[in-house]
């Protein structure tokens, strides 16, 4: 089935508006809907924020291995949800490095540190470090760098490109960010239950052998990406060099648990 045929399924999703694209070898293969329409991203924002933090590390603004919390969690730990912080407040609820606790507050804390060290707002830093260089003109990171972004399919395809190969950071930094950080940690994958282990990189969630999973059954263990509560997602499978970006206006729910894996399996069927 062609890329455009695969994306016909997006048109049947129970959402008001949707846009999507398949990407092969770094090039757009097919598009559904308006790739320039702006959508709320929710937690997909984390992959914009994480890339900015990787740039900040290389520039010497912060050190990924530097202490980010009083109990010794590093900035890398917070990006990989291994810092022991609560989901929505920067309150320690576990020792660092003991379990994977999904924490948007951890991302907001990292962004605050980058902002303070760079002496500029985090939104400005993102613009100078990521969205400007990648020509993501319609993308904005809002009050919460962990969950308050807006973007388009066209812009996120450009972001996929920077996670696919080292456009903004050195190859070694990108490699570190896209392999599991503390790979033995267990934890809950939001919407999909407890995973053992629950693999995460410095920003992206990593597929591994998780079941069930929003990335379907055909994706390689090295596939990485993120989805958001706003009904948004993108993932990239480096083994076949394919990616999908899909944005909707319908919050994540049972519809997505069925639709997203089916789309991923269709894209990877070849």
- Higher-pLDDT residue of 239 and 1 is 239
Residue ranges and CATH numbers for the domains of the chain are: 3-267 (3.40.710.10)
Q: What is the mean pLDDT of residues 32-37?
A: 98
Distance CA 257, CA 53 (A): 30
Q: What is the pLDDT of residues 62-102, one digit of tens each?
A: 999 999 999 999 999 999 999 999 999 999 999 999 999 99
pLDDT of residue 3: 63
pLDDT at 13 over 80: yes
pLDDT at 1 over 90: no
pTM: 0.97
Q: What is the mean pLDDT of residues 98-112?
A: 98
Rg (CA), the chain: 17
Q: What is the pLDDT of residues 112-124, one digit of tens each?
A: 999 999 999 999 9
Helix (H, G, I), strand (E, B) or coil at 26: coil
Find, among 260, 108, 267, 262, the residue nearest to 191 by Cα: 260
Residue partners of 108: CB distance under 8 A and separation at least 6 = 90, 144, 145, 146
Q: What is the pLDDT of residues 187-222, one digit of tens each?
A: 999 999 999 999 999 999 999 999 999 999 999 999
Distance CA 24, CA 221 (A): 18
pLDDT of residue 5: 80
Rounded to the nearest 10 degrees, how much is the dihedral formed by the CA atoms of 21, 48, 253, 28?
10
Q: State both tokens at 184.
A: 């033995």
Average pLDDT, the chain: 97
Find, among 37, 266, 22, 52, the residue nearest to 146 by Cα: 52
C-alpha to C-alpha distances, 153 to 23, 35, 64, 89, nearest whole angstrom: 11, 5, 29, 30
């Amino acid at each position: 089935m062609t890329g455009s045929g695969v994306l016909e399924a997006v048109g049947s999703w129970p959402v008001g508006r949707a846009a999507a694209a398949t990407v092969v070898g770094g090039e757009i293969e097919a598009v559904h809907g308006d790739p320039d329409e702006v959508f709320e991203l929710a937690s997909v924002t984390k992959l914009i924020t994480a890339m900015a933090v990787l740039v900040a590390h290389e520039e010497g603004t912060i050190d990924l291995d530097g202490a980010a919390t009083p109990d010794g969690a590093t900035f890398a730990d917070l990006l990989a949800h291994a810092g022991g912080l609560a989901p929505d407040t920067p309150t320690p609820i576990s020792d660092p490095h003991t379990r994977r606790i999904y924490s948007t507050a951890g991302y907001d804390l990292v962004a605050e540190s980058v902002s303070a060290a760079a002496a500029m707002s985090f939104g400005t830093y993102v613009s100078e470090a990521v969205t400007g260089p990648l020509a993501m003109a319609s993308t904005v990171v809002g009050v919460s760098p962990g969950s308050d972004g807006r973007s388009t399919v066209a812009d996120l395809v450009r972001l996929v490109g920077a996670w696919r190969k080292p456009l903004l950071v050195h190859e070694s930094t990108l490699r570190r960010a896209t392999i599991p950080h503390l790979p033995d940690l267990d934890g809950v994958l939001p919407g999909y239950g407890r995973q053992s282990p629950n693999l995460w990189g410095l920003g992206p969630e990593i597929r591994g052998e998780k079941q069930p999973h929003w990335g379907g059954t055909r994706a390689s263990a090295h596939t990485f990406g993120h989805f958001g509560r706003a009904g948004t997602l993108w993932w990239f499978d480096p083994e076949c060099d394919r990616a999908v970006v899909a944005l909707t206006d319908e919050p994540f729910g049972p519809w997505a648990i069925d639709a997203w894996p089916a789309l991923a399996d269709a894209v990877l069927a070849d």
